[in-house]
């Protein structure tokens, strides 16, 4: 095993920390959960990322989800180059926005009309504003461990009991914002029902990751999504699926198609931007028409529907639509998970793996992980050691136990075999 060179990453990290808070523009990149110096990326292609010191990694971070076709897929790069030549932003509508909207409407069962924005955070924030404006109600229900971007009111943690007001989960969020959010445990329909009962006629919507990816991967328990559909319908609230990760990852129609549960509103991001900043929210036309300029709910964006982001997203979606890779992704991800599971068993290390399609998490936990509380039983210190042992062997996993690893169409069988071989060594080392 060659020692990883890190001189340039170290130097850039020293400078970054003087100029940028915490040295990074998004916290998880700082390696806070695993320690050590972050890897500074230089370039990447397919499954392989090369850092500024020339180290090569088989990458499973994949920009945290957008890169289902791997790094720098030729069709996306070509589309962005062409779009660039025509100008970078117009502040006027473009044909490309219609084409991307059409592709989304064609694929996602719950979307009849869609509004493009620039980040998943913005999309989730706007979807909830719309849910509140449309229902004329103030409260929303979210689930513990689900992440919907850094929306003020959603950075909320459960209060002292189910069906009580949430409290801010970060400095800078007024208690009054967090109080409009009610937090229930993931996969717990009874808890959600109790919240509905405690706030009759006041719940605008329920927002949920239909497959959770931000506490590590956690699948919905059988009946959970169906139950939320039934509860929201009964109480006149909107069901909002945050499919920022799952959209176009679990299938062209996302988790809603996979599980056959159609939400009122869907939040998209990541894959639909093809690696550039684009996101969207959409739903039934009658709800979406409550948005400005036609309706009373305001939402806007200087760079919304940006032509480069639209070109990248459209090129990515066209590749997926032309040859849906989901069966092959499923097979590859299953192969990887099986290999990792055997390697852990052979090393005598208890693990629990959750996987839905090409998103997966290996938890260093000896009991099933079904919600945030059980995810937190995982041994994050052991994960940190595993992470570094893998990095040293040329495999880049997410730098936190509580994140997903992503298999892309660019991960070859050889990549997966090399990853499993690396994991065998790494797990033995940390046993
Ligand atoms: C990444 C993510 C977001 C936030 O998207 P950004 O583009 O980072 O603002 C929202 N919801 C989910 C489920 C995500 O994984």
Residue 285 has pLDDT above 70, yes or no: yes
User: With a 6 A CB cut-off, is 185 part of the ligand 1 pocket?
Assistant: no
Residue 262 has pLDDT above 80, yes or no: yes
Longest dimension (CA), the chain: 62
Give me the long-range contacts of 152-159 (CB less than 8 A, separation at least 24).
152/177, 153/128, 153/177, 153/178, 153/180, 153/181, 154/124, 154/125, 154/128, 154/181, 154/207, 156/181, 156/183, 157/183, 158/183, 158/184, 158/185, 159/183
> Average pLDDT of the chain?
97
Residues 292-326 pLDDT 10s: 999 999 999 999 999 999 999 999 999 999 999 99
Residues 42-67 pLDDT 10s: 999 999 999 999 999 999 999 999 99
User: With a 6 A CB cut-off, is 305 part of the ligand 1 pocket?
Assistant: no
**How far apart are the C-alpha atoms of 193 and 198, rounded to whole Å?**
9
**C-alpha 213 to ligand 1 mean position (Å):** 10
Residues 344-394 pLDDT 10s: 999 999 999 999 999 999 999 999 999 999 999 999 999 999 999 999 999
Instruction: Map tokens 């990694």 to a residue.
Output: 57
**Which DSSP string corresponds to 242-302?**
E-TTTTTTSSTTHHHHHHT---SEEEE-GGGGTTSS-EEEEE-HHHHTTBTTTSSB----T
Residue 332 has pLDDT above 70, yes or no: yes
pTM over 0.75: yes
Residue 260 has pLDDT above 70, yes or no: yes
Give strand ranges (E) for 299-367. Answer: 352-356, 359-363
Average the pLDDT over 147-166 and give the result. Answer: 88
Q: How confident is the model at residue 2 (pLDDT cuts 50, 70, 90)?
A: low
Pocket test for ligand 1, best of 28, 147, 266, 301 (most atoms within 8 A of CB): 147
Residue 158 has pLDDT above 70, yes or no: yes
Instruction: Determine which helix (DSSP H) or strand (DSSP E) holds 203, and give its type and residue range.
Output: strand 203-208
Taking CA atoms, 63 is separated from 41, 180, 406, in Å, by 11, 32, 9
Taking CA atoms, 310 is separated from 39, 102, 122, 148, 250, in Å, by 29, 12, 16, 22, 21
Lowest mean pLDDT segment, chosen from 85-94, 170-179, 223-232: 170-179
Domains of the chain listed by start with CATH number: 7-60+325-430 (3.90.1150.10), 74-322 (3.40.640.10)
Contact yes or no for 66/54 (Cβ under 8 A) = no
Index of the ligand 1 atom closest to the CA of residue 277? 7
User: With a 6 A CB cut-off, is 403 part of the ligand 1 pocket?
Assistant: no
């Amino acid at each position: 095993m060659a020692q990883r060179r890190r001189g340039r990453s170290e130097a850039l990290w020293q400078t970054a920390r003087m100029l940028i808070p915490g040295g990074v523009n998004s916290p998880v990149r700082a390696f806070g959960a695993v320690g050590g110096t972050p890897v500074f990326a230089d370039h990447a292609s397919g499954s392989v990322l090369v850092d500024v010191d020339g180290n090569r990694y088989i990458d499973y971070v994949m920009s945290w989800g957008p890169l289902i076709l791997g790094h720098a897929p030729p069709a996306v790069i070509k589309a962005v180059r062409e779009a660039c030549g025509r100008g970078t932003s117009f502040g006027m509508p473009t044909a490309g926005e219609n084409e991307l909207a059409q592709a989304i409407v064609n694929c996602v069962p719950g979307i009849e009309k869609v509004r493009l924005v620039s980040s998943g955070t913005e999309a989730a924030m706007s979807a909830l504003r719309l849910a509140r404006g449309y229902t004329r109600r103030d409260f929303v229900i979210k689930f513990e461990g689900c992440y919907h971007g850094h929306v003020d009111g959603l950075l909320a943690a459960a209060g002292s009991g189910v069906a009580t007001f949430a409290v801010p989960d970060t400095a800078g969020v007024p208690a009054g914002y967090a109080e409009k959010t009610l937090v229930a445990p993931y996969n717990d329909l009874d808890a959600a029902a109790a919240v509905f009962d405690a706030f009759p006629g006041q719940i605008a919507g329920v927002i949920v990751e239909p497959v959770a990816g931000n506490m590590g991967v956690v699948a919905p328990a059988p009946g959970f999504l169906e139950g939320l559909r039934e509860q929201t319908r009964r109480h006149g609230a909107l069901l909002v699926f945050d499919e920022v990760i799952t959209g176009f990852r679990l299938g062209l129609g996302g988790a809603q198609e996979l599980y056959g549960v159609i939400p009122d509103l869907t939040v998209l991001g990541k894959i639909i931007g093809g690696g550039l900043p684009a996101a969207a929210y959409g739903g039934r036309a009658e709800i979406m028409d409550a948005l400005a300029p036609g309706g009373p709910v305001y939402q806007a964006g200087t760079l919304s529907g940006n032509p480069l982001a639209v070109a990248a997203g459209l090129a990515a979606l066209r590749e997926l639509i032309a040859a849906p890779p989901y069966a092959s992704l499923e097979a590859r991800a299953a192969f990887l998970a099986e290999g990792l599971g055997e390697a852990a068993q052979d090393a005598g290390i208890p693990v629990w793996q959750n996987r839905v399609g090409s998103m997966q998490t290996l938890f260093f936990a000896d009991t099933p992980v079904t919600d945030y509380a059980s995810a937190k039983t995982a041994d994050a210190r052991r994960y940190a050691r595993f992470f570094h042992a893998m990095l040293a062997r040329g495999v880049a996993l997410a730098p936190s136990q509580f994140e997903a690893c992503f298999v892309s169409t660019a991960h070859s069988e050889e990549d997966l075999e090399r990853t499993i071989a690396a994991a065998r060594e790494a797990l033995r080392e940390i046993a």
